[in-house]
Amino acid sequence: MLLLALDTATPAVTVALHDGEAVIASSSQVDARRHGELLLPAVDRVLADAGLTLDAVTGIVVGIGPGPYTGLRVGLMTADTFGLALGVPVHGVCTLDGLAYAADLDGPFVVATDARRKEVYWARYADSRTRVTGPAVDRPADIADEVAGLPAVGAGALLYPDTFPSAHEPEHVSAAALASLAAERLAAGVELPAPRPLYLRRPDAQVPKNYKVVTPK
């Protein structure tokens, strides 16, 4: 097994290689505006660090969000392209699950990432491998009662301390965590989700209302 994992659902552009037993190379850069520019060089860098070429990859793992439309589709389209070019399966993993796995907290907790518009993408977990609710997108104040008293992980938790007073690292997801979680689940025979995006809401860019179409006579 050689899994190439990547995620662009958060401001982090993150890539990793997993050989079925451990992560053998990884790269993460935080830049919310340069997902498309940074992703492929990161893939090249990780492969070079591992001393491998792309055709050695036996499967692709990609974070499916939730996340903003523009950033999320960069990773998903790249994963689909690699899968088609190499003839290997593409596996989806919820980005929040990757954060939960990396946090490795004992007992119930919450993962929350920044959804912009003063909202968070969030989910509740029984432990680092078991999601019990979500993912969903809400204003922090609207979920305060649901998450009260629970530790929280992610950039969304750090942004809204009134709702998430007990916030923990990591701030952003890492492809290393996604790859490790995917490898663990695949080894156990668990079927991973299809690589389809969890947008949870419509994209920020909208066609203006009362848009007037002008066609030549």
pLDDT surpassing 90 at residue 103: yes
- Poorest-confidence range of 86-90, 102-106, 118-122, 145-149? 102-106
Closest CA to 167 of 176, 156, 183: 156
Listing DSSP states for 69-90 in one string gives HHHHHHHHHHHHHHHHHHT--E
Give per-residue pLDDT as tens, 188-217.
999 999 999 999 875 554 555 565 555 665
The CA-based angle 57-62-64, given to 5 degrees, is 165
pLDDT at 106: 84
- The pLDDT, as a whole number, for residue 216 is 60
Alpha helices in the chain (DSSP H): 35-50, 69-86, 95-103, 144-147, 155-159, 175-187
Strand partners, 3: 18, 59
Residue 207: per-residue pLDDT:
53
pLDDT digits (tens, 9 = 90+) for 156-166: 999 999 999 99
Percentage of the chain beyond pLDDT 70 is 93
The whole-angstrom separation of Cα 11 and Cα 67 is 9
- Residue 55's pLDDT band, with cuts at 50, 70 and 90, is very high
- CA proximity to 202, closest of 137, 120, 111, 133: 137
- Say what the pTM is: 0.90
